[in-house]
Structure 1
């Protein structure tokens, strides 16, 4: 029997196409597991880890939850750190300065589970303790910036 070698090939598609498919699946009421790309959610979520998402349907959001949103034609998976007027304030755990301001219409999904690529146990990222830990890390940004400058 011949082996199918096409199964191991990687296909590259645009972010627009990828997230259009993610949104389509979410709109069907299904959960979607996506791979996180980049370092903005370190130290808690690493590049290459995966997260399980559920569609955002306008429910109240709790501080510290992880959100997939579209910010100026760019998709971000960051933590909700505040609300200013009618905008939700998002920040990556690894970011020392950057924040995004998005409206409710820009929120696509909420993250519920984190699966480390190292094969460790899955983490419920919507648990109160996990959200508080992330918010605490966010509020240490000034101290983290000072330490980063001292290390240079």
Structure 2
């Protein structure tokens, strides 16, 4: 993770150090705003957008919540889409197949505000409509996979006809 310093230079810190500091601040009862890296939460949250987090303290999670968790040795910011055998199931909005299964002890925080990097105002993502929209997007994954395959087939057919 890179960090801008006062002298205009950028320094790089490890994800472990970065998230250790995030966890420390959360444990002090502070809210923490982090930058999202990658496109696994597209189309709703994009690379470079930021989200505001509150510490997870074991409370009941609403389906569709956006969660920061540790999955094995990596940190993930994905949507809570279900629970099975005391495991929370997380999936990125942009992922068509992958899911993570984490224990309650692995959940670090819940995001409640989204700040788009480009165009748009801050948006409360912990409201029912935002969670329902995300869950709906998750539940049409099969259709999205089929459409993606059709687009690939269609684009390769168009290239071979030319």
TM over 0.5: yes
Following superposition of structure 1 onto structure 2, how do residues 16-95 of structure 1 map, counting pairs within 5 Å? 16-95=16-95
C-alpha deviations, 1:93-150, integer Å up to 9, x for none? 0000000000000000000000000141101000000000000000010000000001
> Offset at 1:6?
4.6
Whether 2:9 is the aligned partner of 1:9: answer yes
Q: Give the corresponding residue for 2:97.
A: 97
* Higher CA-based Rg: 2
Give the TM-score of the pair, scaled to structure 2: 0.89
> Offset at 1:7?
3.2
Q: Give the corresponding residue for 1:118.
A: 118
Return the alpha-carbon distance in structure 2 between the equivalents of residues 7 and 103 of structure 1. Answer: 41
Q: Which runs of 5+ in 2 are unaligned?
A: 153-162
Q: CA RMSD in A?
A: 1.0
Moved over 6 A (4+): none
Q: Which runs of 5+ in 1 are unaligned?
A: none
Q: How many residues align?
A: 148
Q: Give the corresponding residue for 1:140.
A: 140
Give the TM-score of the pair, scaled to structure 1: 0.95
Return the alpha-carbon distance in structure 1 between the equivalents of residues 104 and 46 of structure 2. Answer: 26
